[in-house]
A = this chain, B = another copy of it.
Amino acid sequence: MSTIYDVAKRAGVSPKTVSRFLNGDAPVGRSTRDKVERAIAELGYVPSSAARTMRSNRSGLVGLITGAITLTPRRMALGGLPDIEIVQGILRELEESGLTLLISDTGGKSERIPNLIRTFQEHRVEGIIFVADHHMKVTLPGIAGDTKLVLANCFDDAGSPAVLPNDRSGQKALTEGLIARGHRRIAYLTLGPEMKATRLRVAGYRDALAIAGIPFDPALVTAANLSADDHLAEEQLLWDALDRVLTIEDPPTVLCLGNDRMALRAYGMLRSRGLTLPDDISVAGYDDHTLITETLYPQLTTVKLPYAAMGVRAARLLTSMVRDGSAAPEAPVLVGGPAVWRDSVRPGPANRITELPMRGRNPA
């Protein structure tokens, strides 16, 4: 591989002049410019970023830590949400920035992270983005030097700059929309209580109720999901929760679920109770996992989890910190996603459930 000296010699100028031509940091004469240009083309010269990095102490590299590449196909097969869309957003935003992305995949094994970070540091990355697969708290090993860190879809105790989905506003927007469509008795079968999203979304749900002056009824809200990989137990838990909220005194006219996959299951369970969607009861999910939401009949109303947008925001945040040295924001950047209205929610006031639901029998 030829060097800047080879180019200089061939063009009959000094290396520094070639450097000036390449970087445009000082004027270069017309004829010199042409000679250098020709020499570069003839030699197929490509500057060495290693040398440039050494001199300027700026590598132009950004590191990305994620498990999405390894885990996405598996997760999607299970109906999980493709967190790889966060990575896509990052790629898109970084494309024009002149920064090069170094991607490391954890394969879901967090014990690998220190090694990945070390490799990044050897390459003197100017910043690191850590992407989590769901809204969660993380604890990363300290990062030496002045390497910037941005967390996407997660946060830590150290208050590192973070980009998070606005779970509260999402559920609030959904609930407000339901109220606007005439619903007053809104059940909410949430994700597990250990999920960070759960508390926030319930808060959003209550925000919307409060604004509309509808009293909060604890009987309508219950956790109905496990994080564990126990499908049978999950199925049972959801069935029980569903049975419970449907058989209270003043039953709900709409069922909000913690995610689209729960909604998918709920469809089957509701139908096995002889209910028609959305005429007998409306249903809403969360995530806007299009593989589910647009495939179901009726298509599922849900809240979009703005993963791509979060990736864009995270990358933008990092570039501004790296390039302009701008300070990290005090509070996490919250990215909202809109409620997506499809056919699983009746556009007008809801019917009441008239038939007597079966009690406590497990489907199939």
Interface residues of A (CB under 8 A from B): 1, 44, 46-51, 53-54, 59, 69-70, 72-73, 76-77, 82, 84-85, 87-88, 91-92, 100-105, 107, 118-119, 121-124, 144-145, 290-291
Contact = CB atoms under 8 A, between A and B. Distances in A.
A198 B37 CA distance: 47
A175 to B, nearest CB: 28
Q: Interface SS of chain A: helix, strand, loop or mixed? A: helix
A124 B48 CA distance: 7
Contact of A48 (B73, B101, B122): B122
21 contacts: A1-B145, A46-B122, A46-B144, A47-B122, A48-B54, A48-B124, A49-B50, A49-B122, A49-B123, A50-B53, A51-B54, A70-B91, A73-B82, A73-B88, A76-B291, A77-B291, A88-B105, A91-B105, A100-B123, A102-B102, A102-B103
A100 B49 CA distance: 16
Given A69-B88, A73-B84, A85-B73, A1 B124 contact: yes
A100 B119 contact: yes
A118 B69 contact: no
A88 B44 CA distance: 33
Contacts of A49: 50, 122-124
A299 to B, nearest CB: 14
Most chain B Cβ neighbours within 10 Å, of A73, A91, A104: A73
A112 to B, nearest CB: 8
A247 to B, nearest CB: 32
Contacts of A82: 72-73, 76
A70 B76 CA distance: 15
